[in-house]
């Protein structure tokens, strides 16, 4: 594993994202506005993979799914399953601790309109690959949405069509881990009922059994 595969808090490999973050810092000088590191248990049994930091969530606070709508269902579910000490995640100094779970993103920097392009997903994939390789052997993966699902496949060098994304689906991976899928816990998905609380709990419960 080369040093270039390690998480880089000052990464500027993607010109579009770097320029966008520069603009965000000028407009919101108090925001984190940098690549967001993973958060949670250092020896997890489950790695949750999201899409990317949200403008007023992780991009503001510096912690995945923290301080925005998308984190509400995620952190409540973790708490309900006994995987955290609090049902909410508001800031990096709120005392939240995760138990057996770690959370990261397929793309570490905030993308415009929450939509990274393919080159940006590829650029960031070496970081995800390293994160996966550093996990305990019995740690499985939980993808929030299609982009996260495909990012995991890229990290394994698998064809994107080889394992089809589907809410509640599970897929064996070459190293013996299992990849579990869920619709992303975004405001759009929850408000349109594409993803309900019960659906999310069901998918998560299967992943941590």
- Three-state DSSP at 146 gives helix
Q: Is residue 1 part of a domain?
A: no
Residue 90: in which H helix or E strand, if any? none
Q: Is residue 22 part of a domain?
A: no
pTM for the model stands at 0.95
Cα→Cα distances 194→77, 98, 187, Å: 17, 27, 10
180 strand-pairing partners: 142, 170
Would residue 28 count as lying in a domain?
no
Specify the pLDDT at position 1: 37
Pairing mode, strands 101-105 and 46-50: parallel
Sheet holding 178-182, edge to edge: 39-40, 101-105, 46-50, 140-144, 178-182, 170-172
Note the pLDDT of residue 209. 80
Q: Specify whether the CB–CB gap between 203 and 182 falls below 8 A.
A: yes
pLDDT of 182 reads 98
- Is 188 a member of any domain? yes
Question: How many CA atoms are closer than 13 Å to the CA of 97, on its beta-carbon side?
Answer: 5
Its domain, for residue 74, covers: 35-208
> Residue-wise pLDDT tens for the chain (209 aa)?
344 468 899 999 999 999 999 999 999 999 999 999 999 999 999 999 999 999 999 999 999 999 999 999 999 999 999 999 999 999 999 999 999 999 999 999 999 999 999 999 999 999 999 999 999 999 999 999 999 999 999 999 999 999 999 999 999 999 999 999 999 999 999 999 999 999 999 999 999 98
| Per-residue model confidence (pLDDT) at position 54 | 95
Q: In 3D, which of 36, 33, 18 has the Cα closest to residue 119?
A: 18
CATH number, residue 39: 3.40.470.10
- 69 domain residue, yes or no: yes
Residue 193 lies in a domain: yes
Average pLDDT, the chain: 95
Query: What's the pLDDT at 5?
Result: 61
In a domain, residue 23? The reply is no
Domain count, the chain: 1
CA distance 51 to 143: 9
The residues pairing with 171 across neighbouring beta strands, listed in sequence order, are 179
Structural domain includes residue 29: no
């Amino acid at each position: 594993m080369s040093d270039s595969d390690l998480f880089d808090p000052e990464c500027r490999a993607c010109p579009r994202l770097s320029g966008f973050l520069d603009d965000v810092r000028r407009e919101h000088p108090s925001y984190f506005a940098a690549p967001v590191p993973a958060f949670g248990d250092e020896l997890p049994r489950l790695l949750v993979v999201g899409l990317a930091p949200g403008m007023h969530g992780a991009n503001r606070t510096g912690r995945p799914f923290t301080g925005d709508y998308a984190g509400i269902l995620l952190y409540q579910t973790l708490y309900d399953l006994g995987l955290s000490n609090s049902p909410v995640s508001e800031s990096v100094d709120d005392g939240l601790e995760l138990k057996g779970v770690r959370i990261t993103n397929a793309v570490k920097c905030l993308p415009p309109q929450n939509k990274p392009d393919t080159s940006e997903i590829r650029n960031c994939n070496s970081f995800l690959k390293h994160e996966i390789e550093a996990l305990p052997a019995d740690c499985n993966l939980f993808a929030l949405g299609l982009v996260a699902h495909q990012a995991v496949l890229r990290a394994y060098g698998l064809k994107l069509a080889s394992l089809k994304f589907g809410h509640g689906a599970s897929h064996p991976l070459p190293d013996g881990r299992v990849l579990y899928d869920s619709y992303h816990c975004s405001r759009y998905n929850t408000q349109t009922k594409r993803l309900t609380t019960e659906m999310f709990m069901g998918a998560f419960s299967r992943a941590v059994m």
